[in-house]
Amino acid sequence: MLTQMLVAEKSAIRQGRLEHRSADHILGQIGNTPLLRLRKLAPVNPRVEVYAKAEWFNPGGSIKDRPALRIIEEAEQAGVLTPDKIIIDATSGNTGIGYALVGAAKGYQVTLVMPGNVTVERKRLARAYGAHIIESDPLEGADGAIRLVRELVARDPERYFYADQYNNPANWRAHYETTGPEIWAQTQGRITHFVAGLGTTGTFTGVGRFLKEMNPNITLVGIQPADELQVIEGLKHLKTSIVPGIWDPALPDQIVEVDTEDVWRMARRLAREEGWFVGLSAGAAILASLQVAAQLDEGLIVTVLPDSGAKYVSLGIWDDE
C-alpha cells in the first residue's frame, strides 16, 4: 500500500498538482524554518526561555509564503482557480509577495491591491515577480484595500480568483498543518506559551488550534496595537477594523497591546544586540513575549518573526541612533 501511495504522489508531482513537494522546486523550500533562542535580550529568569520562528527563511522572505501557497493550491484542487483567471487580493505586502512568488512559479497572473503608503520595497518586490499593483487610499489602510478589491471582483467576477486571505480557511489551515507541527517538534512538546500578532489572524488561529489539540494547557497570547491610531505593519486593532472571517475570538487566552514607538525600539535592539534584522511585527512579537515572560516563574515561550527588516529600510527605523 505504501509503495502504491509513493508512486501516486510521484505521478502527481510530475503532473504539477503537488509540485511544491519536489525538493528541487522553489515552492518546496517553503516552511521548515529555524527556531532561534533569544539570548542577549532573554528574560533574567533562566527558567523562562523565549524562542522565535525565523520566517524570513522562506523563499519569498516571510511567513506569508505558507498561506499563499496553501490558498492557491486548494483553489486549484477545487477547480476555482484555472489558468485563464487572475489571482487577486488585498495585501499590505507580504502575502502579496507570496502570491506573486507562487504565481510566477505556477504560471498565473497576479494583481495586488495595496494601500498607497506601503513601503517602496514591498511594491518593488511584488513587481519583481511580475505582479500588477493597484494602490488604494493610504488613509484607509488595509481595510480600504479590502473594500477596493471587493469592488473590482464584483465588477468582473469571471476574470478573477479572489484569494480573500482574511476569510479563506486555507490561510489558517496552512499554519495548522505546517507551522504548528514544526513548533511542536522543534520544542519537543515543551512549549508552554505561544505568542503571535493579529493581522489576518491566520497564524494565530492555525498554530493555536494545533497546539491546543496537542496540549490544552498551552497559553495562547495574541498581539495587537494599543489603539486604532497605532500603525504597526502586519497588525490590526481588531476592535476598530474589519474583523477577519477566520478569526476565532474564543481562542486567545490573553491579548497583549503594544505601542508603535516601543516596537520600533525593539526592532532596533534585535538587530544590534541579537543580530536579528527583523520587521516591525517581529519587534512587536518579541516585545509582547518578554512582557509575558516577566509574569512567569518558568516556561517556554515561542513566537513568530514574520519577516526581515529588508522591506522597511526606507522608513529610517535603523538610522536612529
Please name the residues in contact with 79: beta carbons below 8 A apart, sequence gap of 6 or more.
none
What DSSP character marks residue 45?
S
Cell numbers standing for residue 299:
516556561
Cell numbers standing for residue 146:
479590502
Of the residues 62, 281, 289, 308, only one is catalytic, namely 281
- Cα separation, 228 vs 275, in Å, equals 31
Whether 92 is a known active-site residue: answer no
- Cα separation, 268 vs 290, in Å, equals 16
* Strand stretches in 244-291, DSSP E: 254-258
Cell numbers standing for residue 72:
492557491
CA dihedral sign of residues 140, 142, 146, 151: positive
Closest alpha carbon to 268 in 257, 283, 281: 283
The residue written with cell numbers 502527481 in the block is 12
CA torsion angle 257 261 265 266 (round to 10): 10
Of the residues 53, 62, 64, 136, only one is catalytic, namely 64
- Cα separation, 114 vs 305, in Å, equals 22
Whether 281 is a known active-site residue: answer yes
Closest alpha carbon to 90 in 56, 137, 26, 58: 137
User: Which residues are known to be catalytic?
Assistant: 64, 281
